Structure 1
Amino acid sequence: MPAPPAPTNPAPAAPVRLVPGEKRRLLDASPRPEEPWYVNDHTLIRAADGTWHAFGIWHPEPADPLHEDLFLHATAADLEGAPWTVHDSVLPARPDLGETHVWAPHVIEHEGRYWMFYAGGTADHTSYRLTLATSEDLFSWTRHEPPLFTDGFDARDPMVIRDGVRWLLYYTRTSAPDGGFHEVAVRTSEDLLTWSEPVVAYRSTQSGTVGGPTESPFVIRAGEGWVLFVCESTQYDRTLAYYSTDPLHFEDSGSLDVDLDEHCAEIVVDGPRTWTTGGGWGRGGLTIRPLEVRT
């Protein structure tokens, strides 16, 4: 049988390749071996003195997401195997403000101040609060009231990056407050305090309320474009990646072929090295692996 004809319009080669390295344990924040605690959605940031700080959802096993009411704070000298010191937890949920739980901190530095964006969960899943706290030293935090904005269903997992002229805040939500297509939404700001109305950065073909394939969005620059990472919650340890030249718009056609078996992956840049971290329920803390971004 003759070979099928070659396609007349072959698909272009992917403009970015993601090559993950070997995974290892980064941090186990359990108080004692016989008392395991998990670290779920998390963030890492290097302070001005070079110390690395980790923040994340922190709770005793087993999973109990609607009662995750405080954040882990731990520090280490480097990401290459230095021991971690666990400090007092930060920013517990405030029932007096209507918070029943707090999720998914993300920390950036701007003009000598640290800015933490996180989700304040409430009894009303159609109106979750995206909230801000700031710090001068990463230990003492001041909440900003009122929350930045509300959205649903379970709008959460904020991540902030600058595109050169403005700030972009990505988060996961559904296309309608009470459920719909799972989306990554993005809002813009000039000052990190006042945010635009949302734009849909990515919409999945799947719909529902809890979970979905757009959790834990994270965006990085990659050559002349951008890569969006999202967590596929129907396969707990799986992160997907999409390439686009427009940071406000990603599509399935930009899917990148990469095997990232992480939950709630974060991308961490440490000088010339790039890492991806992961965590989650029953995962014994956080893992880390090198991630080569080839453009």
Structure 2
Amino acid sequence: MSKQRATNKQRASDRLQKLVVRRRDPVLEDAIEQDRIAIHFQPQIEPATGRIVAVEALARWDGEPSASELFQRARRGGLKERLSRFAQRKALRMAGAWPAPLSDLRISINLLAEDLGRDGYDQWLLEEIALAGLAPDRVTVEITEDSLLADGRLIAERLGRLREAGIQIAVDDFGTGYANLAYLTSLPLDTLKIDRGLITDLAEEKRGRIVVRAMIDMARQLDLKVVVEGVETPEQLALIADWGCDLYQGFLGSGALAEQDLAELIQAAAA
């Protein structure tokens, strides 16, 4: 194949890819418009006491089996940012209306790289928190390591404004991305969330134990909290508790719950 033919073929492929990415998804558009995207909440639990102190808000829809696949579909339909803001707003307003004992819980919401890159997003989020009737110090925003590959200075400024208002900042899926670890000292962070992929074989894998323990030790020295995701066995829980993990998420404690199920779990624990 000639170089010119190869170039033309690549251009055609690129155009086709753009058409695929931008194809409308009226079913998902309608689900967002008609408020058919649900928000479930996965507890974050103290290893030593079993006390639920926070929850992570996760979008759920019958049309896709998981939040990650839902957002992939939203990206293909050009709806990713719209879905993100819808889910954030809905989660905040649900949490703002919670009675005791749910009203003591912190809530974590997930931010996209596109959110942080949008002018005025930080002010929008602060206004949504106020409209929800939430104190900013009850809110944690979670960003992935991939989000940090963009303009580091800009991201630091916007996260800094959120943190100055009392919001806590967490890096999600820590240990799976390719961001320069210098961001641990250059960004205003409060928490590292260690990815579930590093926990799966923790009880059997010596190297895995060394890596996770080193991450927790490093976070401690940086005065950061640690949340471990994907905890599914008592053996995993015993190890991370011994190493000083602050909170854990995972099926050993609870999966993501609808609001009523969360309330019943909290009430049962209190009783």
TM-score clears 0.5: no
Structure with the higher fraction of residues in helix conformation: 2
Structure with the higher fraction of residues in strand conformation: 1
TM-score by length of 1: 0.28
Which of 1 and 2 has greater Rg? 2
